[in-house]
């Protein structure tokens, strides 16, 4: 059976160089990076280099990078750490279309009495700065809006949103889990105070990520314990994974424009192929979206059934969000963009990555044609 992986927004293949660079830290160089003896010198140096590499890729200083266990932890930390850092300003604003790592962190602080407001996006998934302007107050401590949506790919006007937040004395955080390593990012140009990332979305290992925290930002620790990560994120450092994350990010960063162009070519081939075969679809997410991430809605079809038929043909795709695959209801994102129910139910997500080929796309198109217009 053919095997095509087209769910790169869920996770990505581990970079070969990253695997090689991680190996010594899983085998011989196993010293605890926080110890004072010379056996810990190499892991310590590896952490320092990884921090510098990551900082360079997103345009910040190395001491503004804090290693975490992934996107979920980074998001939890940004929301809760910010809320708990200031007893005067207690309010948070986020959007309806955030990942559950943000939404459920917000629900958790709401249960503790911290007010949270949720911005509605436009029909293509954009969170408008003027909508933020309408509800932000001087009591707002944090605004958190994602960089790129994991279900429909929409990218947000972050600089404009951050400006509104700052003009009211609020901090701005972005969940950039789907964007880091895929679109060029400079945190200073964007004007964000915090940014979450996850290694496994950019060909790094699973279970590791980072939170960029701009120097001078007040944030309470989420994980209490030892003095690692400048004393605000405790836990013995996961050296091998951190090394793998930095190598994978550097690799993606060095080829970022080439990868974008490749994914755009694949996406065009997919959409043209479907059109040429007379398969009608709606592409969600508007014009400003992640290249290669295609949320396609087929009227009066069943997205879940399409996924399983594709799986039987050896092709891995997703319905709404991968992190949500047990939940077969219409996703919160498709509800928030007010997609008609007969389209929402027939929605699949094909996320093409740098390792996909035009042949893969051709097979995907042929398979969808068989499933959707079986004549």
List contacts with ligand PLP (CB under 6 A): 70-72, 75, 99, 101, 146, 150, 175, 177-178, 198, 209, 323
CB of 205 to ligand PLP, least distance (A): 11
Give the integer Cα–Cα distance in Å for 230 and 65.
10
Nearest distance in Å: CB 148, ligand PLP: 7
Give the Cα separation of 184 and 4 in Å (integer). 27
Q: Which residue has the tokens 């092709």?
A: 315
d(CA 372, CA 369): 5
Tell me the closest approach of the beta carbon of residue 180 to ligand PLP, in angstroms: 10
Nearer to ligand PLP, 7 or 267 (CB): 7
| Catalytic one of 60, 106, 294, 323 | 323
Q: CB-wise, 29 or 322, nearer to ligand PLP?
A: 322
Q: Report the C-alpha gap between 267 and 103 in whole angstroms.
A: 30
CA-nearest of 216, 217, 234 to 225 is 234
Q: Between residues 102 and 372, which has the closer beta carbon with respect to ligand PLP?
A: 102
Closest-by-Cβ residue to ligand PLP is 71
Q: By C-alpha distance, which of 247, 186, 207 is closest to 64?
A: 186
Rounded to a whole number of angstroms, the minimum distance from the CB of residue 26 to ligand PLP is 20
Closer residue to ligand PLP, CB minimum distance, 105 or 259: 105
DSSP bridge partners of 68: 209
DSSP H helices, the chain, are 16-26, 41-58, 71-76, 82-83, 100-111, 129-135, 158-167, 187-190, 239-254, 256-276, 303-312, 332-336, 341-344, 358-372
- Closest CB 224 distance from ligand PLP, rounded Å: 20
Contact present, 129 and 160 (Cβ < 8 Å): yes
C-beta of residue 206 within 8 angstroms of C-beta of residue 186? no
CB 197, min distance to ligand PLP, A: 8
Question: Whose Cβ is closer to ligand PLP: residue 90's or residue 263's?
Answer: 263
Cβ distance to ligand PLP smaller for residue 9 or 343: 9
Q: Is 225 left (phi over 0), alpha (psi -120 to 50) or beta?
A: left
Q: How far is CA 297 from CA 163, 190, 279, 324, 355, in A?
A: 34, 32, 11, 18, 24
294 has catalytic annotation: no
- Residues classed as catalytic: 323
């Amino acid at each position: 059976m053919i095997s095509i992986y087209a769910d790169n927004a869920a996770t990505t293949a581990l970079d070969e160089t990253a695997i090689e660079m991680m190996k010594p830290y899983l085998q011989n160089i196993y010293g605890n990076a926080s110890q004072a003896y010379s056996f810990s010198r190499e892991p310590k140096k590896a952490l320092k280099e990884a921090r510098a590499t990551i900082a360079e890729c997103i345009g910040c200083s190395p001491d503004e990078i804090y290693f975490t266990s992934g996107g979920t932890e980074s998001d939890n930390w940004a929301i809760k750490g910010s809320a708990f850092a200031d007893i005067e300003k207690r309010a948070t604003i986020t959007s309806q279309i955030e990942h559950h790592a943000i939404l459920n962190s917000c629900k958790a602080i709401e249960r503790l009495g911290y007010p949270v407001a949720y911005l509605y996006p436009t029909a293509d998934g954009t969170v408008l700065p003027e909508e933020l302007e309408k509800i932000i107050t001087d009591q707002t401590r944090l605004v958190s809006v994602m960089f790129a949506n994991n279900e429909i790919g929409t990218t947000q006007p972050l600089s404009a949103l951050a400006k509104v937040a700052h003009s009211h004395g609020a901090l701005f955080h972005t969940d950039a889990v789907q964007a880091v390593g895929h679109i060029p990012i400079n945190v200073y140009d964007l004007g964000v105070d915090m940014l979450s990332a996850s290694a496994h979305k950019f060909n790094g290992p699973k279970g590791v990520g980072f939170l960029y925290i701009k120097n001078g930002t007040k944030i309470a620790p989420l994980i209490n314990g030892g003095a690692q990560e400048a004393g605000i994120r405790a836990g013995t450092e996961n050296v091998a994974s951190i090394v793998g994350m930095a190598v994978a990010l550097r690799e993606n960063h060095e080829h970022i424009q080439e990868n974008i162009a490749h994914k755009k070519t694949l996406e065009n081939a997919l959409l043209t192929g479907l059109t040429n075969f007379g398969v009608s679809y709606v592409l969600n997410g508007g014009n400003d979206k992640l290249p290669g991430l295609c949320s396609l809605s087929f009227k009066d079809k069943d997205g879940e059934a399409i996924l399983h038929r594709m799986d039987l043909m050896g092709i891995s795709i997703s319905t709404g969000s991968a992190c949500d695959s047990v939940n077969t209801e219409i996703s919160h994102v498709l509800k928030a963009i007010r997609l008609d129910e007969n389209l929402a139910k027939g929605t699949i997500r094909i996320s093409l990555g740098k390792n996909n080929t035009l042949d893969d796309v051709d097979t995907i198109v042929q398979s969808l044609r068989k499933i959707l217009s079986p004549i």
